[in-house]
Structure 1
Amino acid sequence: MPDNPSLAETDRPTWPQVEPWLDRALAVPDKERLTWLKAQALPPALHDELVALLQAEAGSRGLYAAADVDAAPAAPAALASGTRVGAWRVVGLIGRGGSGEVYRVERADGSYQQQAALKLLHTADDADERRRFAAERHTLARLQVPGIVRLLDAGSHDGHPWAVTELIDGQPLDAAGDALDLPGRMVLLRRVVGVVATAHAGGVVHRDLKPANVLVDADGAPHLLDFGLARRDTGSIDGEVTQTLSLRLTPDWCAPEQLTGGVAGPPADVFALGVLAYRLLAGRLPWTLAGPGMQRALQRLQQLDQSPLPPSHGQPPAVRQALRGDLDAIVARCLAREPGQRYADAAALAEDLDRHARGLPVRARGDAAPYVLGRLLRRHRMVAGASAAVVLSLAGGLGATAWMAHRAAQERDVAQAEARISRGVRDLVITLLRDVQAQPPGERQPPSAVLARNAERLSATLADDPQGRDTLLAMAQLYYQLNDYVGAAALYERLLADTAAIAPEQQAQAEAEWAQCLWRMGRADEAGAPLARAQAFWATDPSRWRLRLAESRHLQAQLARHAGDAAGAIALLEQALATQREALGPAHVEVAVTMNNLAFTRHQTGDRDGARSGYQAAWALWEQLGDTDGPDALGLLNNWAVLEMQAGQTAEAERLWQRAVDLHRAHLPPSAEQAALLNNLGKLRLRRGDAAGAEPLLAEAVAQATRFAGPASPHAMAALQGLAEALAALGREGEGLQVLADIETRAAGAPPLAQAMPDLAWARWHALAGRWPEAHARADAAQARLQALGAAGAGHLAQLKALRGGWPAR
């Protein structure tokens, strides 16, 4: 007898308790199963669960008719050839499914000649089937668009509902794809996704996408049919929620939430499209299933947490090279376990496939280096957000990174400019990428170093070329993307030196981005003039440029707050938010970004309650948008955690930072931002007395900050300081002293702010040991260095003052 973990008579059985008994029951002949099961004297709950599963398995055979051809004996057609159904005459049987048959019919009333397909529901006494059939007819009547079979007629025959649709003479998608080369399959895939995107735009989720339901005609055009499981994407249709309440689906192709009884919205279709894409590109399914429908469904359930191999795996070299990278990433995103990790709908998937076809970076791959170099083929419109500099909290030992810069590309209003990207830009990208690929795998430099090595030569060559000015602008934007504001500003200045040579809209764009660089370089007094010039141009046609003007309010608000006008900064962001909500609707990424920045500004002005409610509302919007793993959403979690820490809610702050770290690790590559999050979480744990939990986080933060921000960067120095304290708290004083020596080595020859870090670190080290004269002496040295920095050291001075406030007098 199979192992059966203990089960109380009233407990609901778990899958490990059910599975061995179900396997044995499925091996018993159909007619004997229930009798055999009753003889096993199982607990009632386990017995009832097995009976329900066996009944579902028996009922699933007809529903899986397309794949389970041997699941049930063939039955004679309900309608003989020549039978009249409404205005149609039956020509012959095309096929049958679990609930009816499909016939080829022809017009029989003499009004015109036409052949079509008639679907007849034979389970006329099944109320659920009748409702499902009526829903399909209703859906087809609404979706009168190319690529989706058109409903021609409907009625009832001897009490059995029927529907007539256009007849598609074609092959199932997999058979049609097998006859094409890889480029042909890619074209076919994009056309299929486009058809599903049309259905989604019409508010309809198909929920049963598979090759048999996508017929490809002789011209290569796909046609979507069989909307028997389709639902309106409004949460309900005719009072029925869009939840998978019964196993009326095909386990080879359906989404995990359909197998587990969850809500099946557009991401369920995206998952099925991912399986179709995998089949088209790889020539096989992502998984190997066997047996009738229920058994295959159970096999899928066991594999839900296993990621399939990428489509490129095991392919011939040429195919593997074509699939590896973008296409593997696109398919992987479609096949994500959780709906929120997939594309939101088929339109988003279609956009990424289109980007791949045009040679643009696909969103499925994120910002990993050296892939980021490919972004030079796009125009980036950076939203001026809150400062990206790390603010070191010496009193609390915490760093707050204000990540409010919106990194997504803004492509509205510049479609024509996209088309003007010259061959020189493409050649530049190819040059940079070849440079990266030429380096040994273990010695590849970050994109910033590769760009720096080529930028001066290329920019000098292209500066006087009209088309080359597009290249200069793209290079400046890439420097900005890599957080090299000094390099970006130099290129913007070169571009703007001759404004008569560039188009006014290009000048405004460059002016605004140059202003953003100046702000981030600490030159706030210089940033206002170029920003004002950009806004003046956009104000000449405010209806066209109103979204650009709204975006520019972010930097304008920062400058206002810097000048001491907190109320003015908040008013500017509220104005931007109102414009974006009116133009884009309440649920849009731009709205969420502005909500982030508005909450952050209130936070910085001391309005904790207003900031907290703002962060909560913005996070709810990120969740609604399904974009909780992007940089802006993670920046919100970071700043919200800082707020809670400042309010003394350390447990809530730790929860928020832990969530941000988990999301960043799961969805984004290692980076300076991830280092800052690790540093913040580690220092909070240190503050709460958990040095053992803090030490590995801080060590990881040091490694990432050193690699991505630089060895003497504020990110790296802050993490090193925390690591030294953690080691001291763990009694590993020798290792801690080595870290302090490392800080001093890194500070030698570094920028002035970094040179103050050793004194700060030693001051804290001596204070931890109670060596107060030494602590005061090093704090005095740090204070002198910070005072010499002027405004750049003001924030650190305030925190140093708070730190010394807890020390005993000299």
Structure 2
Amino acid sequence: MNEGTEEPVDDTTLSGQSRDSTVTLPLPGMDPDRRIGPYKLIRELGRGGMGTVWLAARADEQFEKRVALKVVRASDSEQVLRYFRQERQILAGLEHPNIARLLDGGTTEDGLPYFVMEHVEGVPIDRYCDEHKLPVLERLRLFEAVCSAVQHAHRSLVVHRDLKPSNILVTGEGVPKLLDFGIAKLLNPGVAGGLSQETVLAMTPEYASPEQVRGRAITTATDVYSLGVILYELLTGHPPYRVKSREHVEVLKAVCEVEPERPSTAVGRTGERHQPDGTTVTTTPEETGRLRHETPQRLRKRLKGDLDAMVMAALQKDPLQRYASVEGLARDIQRYLDGRPITARRTSTIYRIRKLAGRHKLGVAAAGAILALLVVLAVTSTLQASRIRKERDHATSETAKVTAMNVFLQEALGAADPWEKGSRNISLLDALRQAQGKAESAFQGQPLVRAAMLQTMGSTFANLAEFQEGEKALRTALVLRTAATGPRSAEVAESQASLANLYGLWHRFDQAVAAGQESLSITRAVYGPRSLRTAAALHAVGQVYQRKGDLPALKPVAEEMLSIVRAPAPKIRGDESAAPEAAKLEVQALGLLAAVALQEENYVRMEVIDRERLDKVRARLPELRSELASAVNDLATAQLMNGDLAAAEANYKEALAINIADVGEEHPETLSSRENLGNVYFRSKRYDETLRSLDLVLALRRKALGPDAEPVGRTLANIGTVSKEAGRIDEAERAYRAALAVLVPKLGEQNLDVASVRMSLGDVLRRRGQLDEAEPLMRSGLEIRVKVLGETHAATQRALKALADLATARGRTAEAAAYTARLVPAK
């Protein structure tokens, strides 16, 4: 959309039509000099599947600058109209110097929607580079600006999914402008109101990713791939794939099945390039080099190595093997320009394991949980192999363990693999339960292997709020490890740390603290008081204190952890296993210190710490990729507490986009990001947006974890709170009652979160005048808070005030006075 004066619109293919198959037909009533709103049409710039673009000017002469006006045709389908309206909505939210700006919009006299954008006088980026004979380094700098625009769109939860040279025009001043969001996808349709389902394949095949071609899920990785194709062409003058014809079946087969030549190889061949006007241009190595101010030999040498690796990383068939974000690709380009090492690397063993896990369609969190299991197996196998090399006399035994683990892995995952012998409908929890049962019998004679299996399964159950099953698995692993290695071994310390995490999530804080302190004591004895492993054990204890809200205990733990990480002792002799990464531990320590500031209500300090943490994470990408979403999210929380709702919203959206790119739209981490973003909408009193977001989260959590999972109950409670504030009392009551039906069996009668939901439900009933029903709920909430938090805690004080008000409303003056007497005087 919005191409320059000499460029025809090269709009996007729908449903597999050829990109050149658009037939130009006269548009009734659309002629030069016609007025649309305040704009006068000058001439048609082009047209495609998503509308017609006209060069126009303000008819009232308020502006001298010409504009590009895009309007749909009267004959366009409802699908095209939806895409058009979505494009207008997307552009309204994008402000970036390398994205063509939306200026205006409206409806024609015939009822057809239109919008107006800046008219970009420029040429496609590939033509610009060749016409100006830009060297490789200048091409990279220009391409880096394009990456910045795409990354801005991703942070706004928009995937362009039609990136190609004709949608990137470069002005006479050398400024690239990204155009045509006609088939862009909103990653947050529940909030933004975009298209939630696709009914056609929307793509330009030569630049489409394998997942687009196959009709699979679209994420930000889709744009990374398309940028890889563009970068390949800018560097080599050739497309990545050599096809015998331009038939779509040939192109699509190449995209999905053929590995492209490395750029350094491609520049050494002669090839034919098809132009948009239907002509064919022959490209020789000499011509390719001349257009880049290089000889063929020097160009091949320049591309070989880092640039090869960067382009091939962007063009991986599997989205998980590409750069994790456009920002990652841009950072590598900047590293290359600065002469620093890049991060693109060869396929790793863990990635091959991840790829295997990705075949198992367990529904939402399955991939992450199974990957964790696979990583344990891989790490354990590596350790076993190391021992084989060091202790030849145990080789047969150790090899047998590895073989047994591999067999177990295949059988355990087969239950959830619809492509093998399993069922497409099996849930993640059912798969884990089956795997646990198999582990009990499969490794009776191999206690440490069985313990490693149960350790991972127990931790996964804990993260899914299946606490009783998680406790059973972790306790069994602890018993096995204690018997095999002794009560003060590193293996026992690991088991105790996992139990601390489980009990912390379960809000059984006394047990959590005891397990965490035991893990810390053993770790100090085994590895030393200033080892990185001790810092990791301190983090486990700190997380327990953080969840408990024990500020006096948390602060010294966080400070000790940071001190160790910044000046650790060397590894002890004989420790052959991999130590925790200092960089990751440092950002985790900063996270605990930010939590201290949050509980102290020192939100300014919290924001300072979170900014430092995020800066450190960004500086160590992709090494700390796993920490990025959390760091961005926590900074957003600090900004929210400081009242900077706009900044908080932007960062929550970025965290959401990162999680979508990393783990998919339905992963629990992604759903948590959506709920956090909803908190901004809630604080802004945008209740409808909040409820749309929460409804989407609820549906996906029920689909993934079942209707009785604890996260489902928490989302229902949030829906109740938003509905209450929005004045939708009936909806609030239903949501709170549904939340209690889930949370009480999971967390128990004496849980603080259960108490909060009861207090909230009681408040709803009080507002409706059902005082007799409200009182026992609020009393129950108060009793739990007094027992767990104490009389003077702020939450307990709020409950006392609510019951005092309720007693007053019922005319029970003495009872109200008794509650009031327990309130702490305001300072």
What range is the shorter-chain TM-score in? 0.5 to 0.7
Mapped contact 1:747–1:758 kept (Cα < 8 A): no
CA distance in 2, matches of 1:568, 1:557: 8
Q: Which residue of 1 aligns with 2:312?
A: 273
Give the 5 Å matches for 1:183-332.
209-212=264-267, 269-274=308-313, 311=317, 327=318, 329-331=320-322
Deviation at 1:464, TM superposition (A): 3.8
**Which residue in 1 is equivalent to 2:425?**
444
**Is contact 1:360-1:375 (8 Å) kept?**
no
Match among 470, 475, 478 for residue 493 of structure 1: 475
Partner of 1:546: 531
Contact 1:473 1:495 in 2 (8 A): yes
Q: For 1:339-418, what aligned pairs fall within 5 Å after superposition?
A: 339=330, 349-350=344-345, 352-357=347-352, 368-370=365-367, 372-379=369-376, 416=386
Alpha-carbon spacing, 1:709–1:337, altered in 2? closer, same or farther (3 Å): same
Q: TM-score, normalised by structure 1?
A: 0.52
For 1:702, which of 690, 698, 704 is the aligned residue? 698
Q: Would you say 1:596 and 2:591 are equivalent positions? A: yes
Partner of 1:526: 511
Partners of 2:790 and 2:796 within 8 A in 1 = no
TM-score (normalizing by structure 2): 0.51
Look up the match of 2:820. Answer: none
For the Cα contact (< 8 Å) 2:632–2:651, is it kept in 1?
yes
CA distance in 1, matches of 2:120, 2:514: 78
- Residues 293-342 of structure 1: per-residue CA shift (max 9 Å, x gap): xxxxxxxxxxxxxxxxxx4xxxxxxxxxxxxxxx4532575989963699
Distance in 1 (CA, whole Å) between partners of 2:125 and 2:785 is 76
Letter in 2 for 1:493: R
Structure-2 separation of matches of 1:175 and 1:726: 52
Change (3 A) 1:432 1:716: same
Equivalent residue letter for 1:329: L
Contact 2:708 2:742 in 1 (8 A): yes
Amino acid paired to 2:349: D
**Counterpart position of 1:611:** 606
Contact kept in structure 1, 2:408 and 2:442, CA below 8 Å = no
Q: Residue by residue, what CA displacement relative to the aligned partner does 1:94-141 show, whole Å, maximum 9, x if unpaired?
A: xxxxxxxxxxxxxxxxxxxxxxxxxxxxxxxxxxxxxxxxxxxxxxxx
Structure 1 residues 481, 689: CA separation in 2 closer, same or farther (over 3 Å shift)?
A: closer
The equivalent residue for 1:110 is none
CA contact (8 A) 1:479 1:487 kept: yes
Q: Which one of 458, 483, 496 corresponds to residue 511 of structure 1?
A: 496
- Which one of 423, 426, 429 corresponds to residue 409 of structure 2? 429
Displacement of 1:575 in angstroms is 3.0
C-alpha distance in 2, partners of 1:492/1:585?
A: 22
Deviations 1:499-536 (A, max 9, x none): 24237333333233333333333343334555455444
State the secondary structure of the residue aligned to 2:619: helix
Within 1, Cα distance between the matches of 2:678 and 2:407? 44
> Residues 229-257 of structure 1, C-alpha deviation per residue, up to 9 Å, x if partnerless?
99xxxxxxxxxxxxxxx96699xxx9xxx
Return 5+ residue gaps in structure 2 as ranges. 1-42, 46-53, 71-117, 138-237, 245-257, 270-284, 390-397, 569-578, 810-827
Contact kept in structure 1, 2:535 and 2:564, CA below 8 Å: yes
Counterpart residue type for residue 550 of structure 1: A
The separation in 1 between residues aligned to 2:329 and 2:643, in whole angstroms, is 34
> For residue 431 of structure 1, what is the amino acid of its counterpart?
E
Partner AA of 2:374 in structure 1: L
- How many equivalent pairs are there? 538
The answer as to whether partners of 1:511 and 1:530 remain within 8 angstroms in 2 is yes
Paired residue secondary structure (1:588):
helix
Cα contact 2:653–2:677 (8 A) shared by 1: yes
Aligned to 2:618: 623
Give the deviation of 1:757 after TM superposition: 6.4
1:273 CA drift (Å): 1.6
The alpha-carbon distance between structure 1 residues 573 and 741, as it changes in their structure 2 partners (threshold 3 A), is: closer
Work out the CA distance in 1 between the residues paired with 2:808 and 2:657. Answer: 42
Cα distance in 1, alignment partners of residues 738 and 124 from structure 2: 68
Report if the CA contact (8 A) 2:756-2:781 is conserved.
Answer: no
Whether the aligned pair in 1 keeps the contact of 2:493 and 2:518 (CA below 8 Å) is yes
1:482 is displaced (CA, Å) by 4.6
Q: Distance in 1 between matches of 2:416 and 2:678?
A: 34
- Cα deviation, residue 488, structure 1: 3.5
- 8 A Cα contact 1:379 1:474, kept in partner: yes
Deviation at 1:437, TM superposition (A): 1.8
Letter in 2 for 1:625: R
Which has more radius of gyration? 1
- Aligned to 1:692, which of 688, 691, 700? 688
Q: For structure 1, which segment, 733-742 or 692-701, has the greater mean C-alpha deviation from structure 2 after superposition?
A: 733-742
| Matched letter for residue 601 of structure 1 | V
Q: Match of 1:437, SS?
A: coil
CA separation in 1, counterparts of 2:124 and 2:717?
A: 63
Deviation at 1:618, TM superposition (A): 0.8
Partner of residue 573 from structure 1, selected from 544, 551, 558: 558
Q: Is the 8 A contact 1:267 1:342 kept in 2?
A: no
Alignment partners' CA distance in 2, 1:631 and 1:586:
12
Does the 8 Å contact 1:512/1:552 carry over to 2?
Answer: yes
Residues 760 and 629 (structure 1), Cα distance of their counterparts in 2 relative to 1, 3 Å cut:
farther
Cα separation, 2, equivalents of 1:47 and 1:781: 66
Q: Choose 610-619 or 431-440, whichever is displaced more.
A: 431-440
Contact 2:681 2:690 in 1 (8 A): yes
Confirm or deny: 8 A CA contact 1:672 1:705 kept in the other structure.
Answer: yes
Letter in 2 for 1:453: Q
Change (3 A) 1:430 1:715: same
Partner of 2:542: 557
| Mapped partners of 2:305, 2:407: distance in 1 | 39
- Call closer, same or farther: CA 1:347–1:500 in 2, change over 3 Å: farther
- Match for residue 440 of structure 2? 459
Contiguous gaps of at least 5 residues in structure 1: 18-44, 65-171, 179-187, 194-207, 215-225, 231-245, 259-263, 279-310, 312-326, 382-408
Contact 1:360 1:378 in 2 (8 A): no
How far off is 1:51 after superposition? 13
* Aligned counterpart, 1:777: 775
* Residue in 1 that maps onto 2:715: 719
Distance in 2, Cα, partners of 1:359 & 1:615: 30
Q: Is the alpha carbon distance of 1:607 and 1:689 closer, same or farther for their aligned partners in structure 2, counting shifts above 3 Å?
A: closer
